[in-house]
Chain A
Amino acid sequence: MSAREGGRTFRDYGSTRIHLGNTRRRGTALMLVSSLILMVFALRLVDLQAVQGSELASAALDQRLRTVELPALRGSILDSSGVPLAITVEAKNVTADQTKVTDPVLVAQALSPILGADADILAQRLTGDRRFMYLAKEVTPETWEQISALRLPGVFSEDTSRRIYPAGDLAANVIGFVGAQGSGLGGYEYAFNDELGGTPGETTFERGLGGRAIPTGASVRVDAQAGVDIELTIDRDIQYFAQKEIAQAVENSGASDGTVVVMDPQSGRILALATAPTFNPNFPTQSEQRDLNNRPLTSAFEPGSTSKVMTLAAVINEGAATPYTPITVPGSLRRGDKDFHDSTPHGTLQLTLTGVMAKSSNIGTILAAERIGGKKLSKYLKKFGIGQPTGLGFPGETSGFVPEHQDWSPTSFPTIAFGQGLSVNAVQVASVFSTIANDGLRVEPSLVKKIIHEDGSVEEPDAPMTTRVVSRETAIQVREMLESVVGEGGTATNAGIPGYRVGGKTGTAQIINDSTGRYSNEVIASFVGMVPADNPRLVVGVFISQPQNGRYGGELGAPVFKKVSSYALGALKIPPTGSKAPKLALTFGG
């Protein structure tokens, strides 16, 4: 029997009375306690969710978000037929986590034959506490596959890229080279670094534990824009041949350096720009600093007799003489305080203007130049491009120098008339002859044919600037005179190519000794020619500096011209015109 007394329940079992709990009160108490606890939870939830909610969410997002740069693929440099001369390829950097390497010596021994590195050095790099250490940079993916197949603990890879020059030193002086960072340090790799480099992109994603991207998380991706490809005007076969021939000529003559320029006079495009010694852009550090330059553009020199083409063209253009005009040439000529001579001593010669060109007479040139005066000559020199930038935009190129007419001394005029006392680079000289070859119209030289964007669109540079320097009639007459240089009695008979009409001019220019400031005995032997002379499609200039075996332009420059031109004529399929060269008289009178 149970009974209730005052809310408390009792149960009587015989004489014992047991106190039982008040269920109602217990229930209430339990409810109160649990409500209290739940309220704490609720408050905390409200606090986290509502009060600190957005702040915490953005903090968490920041923690998860990771931005990775997407590198842009560097553009290639191509030759005129689209074959790559400089390309970027995939590569791997081999890295090590030193804390995970269990046996550095063993790992080093395994890696040494694959990487071609000293096992001791590798072992050193594998020992320590660093979590990230480079073992080898820019190895090929195949090399990495060999390494990863060994499953060495602690050895990882990093994606990177490598710039390679598959044709070796071909046109290296034009292309340039890149540094360790992959950005250009010389040549067009440097001048066009921004265009070639493209624009890197970036991808931002939410990163979960372990670094993986959360698939449904926020992600923003800006694609990288690959760099443009640059197609040069350089023909790789003609470039190769020219590089080979000038390297051979420099070696045979014991010269300090040599240069060959091959141009298309009608378009101004440079088909080959070769120099020796040169370098291999795959290993730029193996060459001397001065050989890393593009000598045809960066090296200034006094042109010597090749400059007579400008002087005589100016004289004819002004109507002051014709190729048949007789010029009495004494053995020596005094102007100002100097006595001027020709390269071979002679008595008084009765030469026509053509004879002056063919025999490269300094005195004859001075006399002819005096028919138009220094001021007019100075104007023509400028129009021919002397002392002006070539327009190629090449880093380090020199504009050459010719003093302003008002600064000329009494001996400046005669000296400049025959090509000393002014300085030029090799391309400027070739450009002068291209102007004569192109009927008197100077076309600005160019090295870049087109720029190809990532999407395949092609951008061609603006049409080159043209300048009318001399009339077409003048140019035709000058070309005929130049043919006599290569013909019988001229200074460059070994520039002749059987079956073709060839015209050109030799030069044997004295070099100034930098320390004494006086002309030394060293020379630059040169020959610049054009073929076919009656409708020139090619201009080839050869410049050999400080030769020790041989000295004259006709002796050293002309044979290189002949070899390079013969090759280029065949490569470009330029047939002979079939006409016969006129035989202009070199002398007059009896």
Chain B
Amino acid sequence: MSAASQRDHSPNQPSESVTEYATRGVRRRTRENLRLVAPIRVRKASRGVFVIVLAIILGVGLLGMLVINTTLAQGAFTVSELRSTQEELSRTEATLIESVAALAAPVVLETKARNLGMVPSSTPAFIQIPTGKVLGKPKPAPGARISAPANATVGEAPSNSGLPVAPGVDYDPAAADAQRAIGEWSEPTLIDPQIIPEDLTLDAIAVE
């Protein structure tokens, strides 16, 4: 509080601003055509806008960080999930390879064949296709003969025996292949389902 303002008690002066009062002397001493410039009004930026801008920047920054962190976390989660799936699949593959190798062992094949009633042949002999000439001296394999039903005609297996029809004289290999391609293959049966995990289906595995 300046002392000067307290001393202004002259009743004759009209109300004047502090600045006019303070510059009275200067104004008297200088030329009349100088007049007082209106005081410069400092245009202050409104505080509200400033706060809003700051808030927006902060918000955007925080939001960005949130998004990045979320994406990273999501990615890490996906990676770990995929990795555990991959480990599981590798383990399944290894188990399957092991099973196939074990099932392919000749001793297993012989046991299965014998269980089906098959016997090994004792004499090597060949049929030359297409002449039908027999090479070598074949002998019937040892073991019980499976008799054919009475109504079978020569050259044909009975239709209900489940065996593929024996080809006759006009057997055409190309036609037979074409017929099969349409979808006559039956699904191979799993020989010993206990060895292969039960929850795997054949079409779930890509066979190389």
State whether these chains interact.
Answer: yes
Binding site for B on A (CB under 8 A): 83-84, 87, 89-90, 141-142, 164, 166-168, 170, 236-237, 239-241, 497-500, 563, 566-567, 569-570, 573-576, 578
Considering the complex of A and B, which 4 residue pairs feature the smallest CB-CB distances, nearest first?
A: A240-B106, A166-B101, A499-B137, A499-B136
CB-CB contacts below 8 Å: B2-36 with A:
none
Q: Report if B122 contacts A (CB, 8 A).
A: yes
Q: Is the CB of A567 within 8 A of B120?
A: yes
* Cα–Cα distance between A574 and B125 once the two chains are bound (Å): 9
Does A236 contact B106, Cβ atoms closer than 8 Å? yes
CB distance from A560 to the nearest CB of B (A): 13
Judged by a CB distance under 8 angstroms, whether B41 is at the interface is no
Number of A-B contacts defined by CB within 8 Å? 72
Mark each residue of chain B from 101 to 133: 1 if its CB lies under 8 Å from any CB of chain A, else 0.
110111100100000000011111110100000
User: Judging by beta carbons under 8 Å apart, are A83 and B125 in contact?
Assistant: no
30 A-B contact pairs sorted by A residue (CB < 8 Å):
A87-B97, A87-B98, A87-B101, A90-B91, A90-B94, A166-B104, A167-B106, A167-B107, A168-B105, A168-B107, A170-B106, A236-B106, A237-B106, A239-B106, A241-B106, A497-B123, A498-B139, A499-B137, A500-B136, A566-B123, A566-B124, A567-B124, A569-B124, A570-B121, A570-B124, A574-B124, A575-B128, A575-B136, A576-B136, A578-B135
With known contacts A89-B94, A90-B94, A499–B125 Cβ distance under 8 A: yes
B98 with A89: CB separation less than 8 A: yes
Residue pair A167, B126 in contact (C-beta under 8 Å):
no
Which residues of A have CB within 8 Å of B90? 90
Enumerate chain B residues within 8 angstroms of A166, measured Cβ to Cβ.
98, 101-102, 104-105
A142 and B105 contact, CB distance less than 8 A: no
Known: A84-B101, A90-B94, A575-B135. A497 touches B106 (CB 8 A): no
* Chain B 63-106 interface mask (CB, 8 Å, partner A; 1/0): 00000000000000000000000000011001101100110111
Cβ–Cβ < 8 Å partners of A575 in chain B: 126, 128, 135-136
Residue in B91, B102, B105 with the greatest tally of chain A CB atoms within 10 Å? B105
Which A residue sits closest to B106, measured CB to CB?
A: A240
Contact A141 B91 (CB under 8 A): yes
A-side contacts of B120, CB under 8 Å = 567
Q: Is the CB of B107 within 8 A of A240?
A: yes
B90 to chain A: closest residue by CB: A90
- B44 CB to closest chain A CB (Å) equals 32
CB distance from A529 to the nearest CB of B (A): 14
Taking a contact as CB atoms under 8 Å apart, the answer to whether B104 and A83 are in contact is yes
Q: Which residues of B contact A497 (CB under 8 A)?
A: 123-124
How many whole Å from B142's CB to the nearest CB in chain A?
12
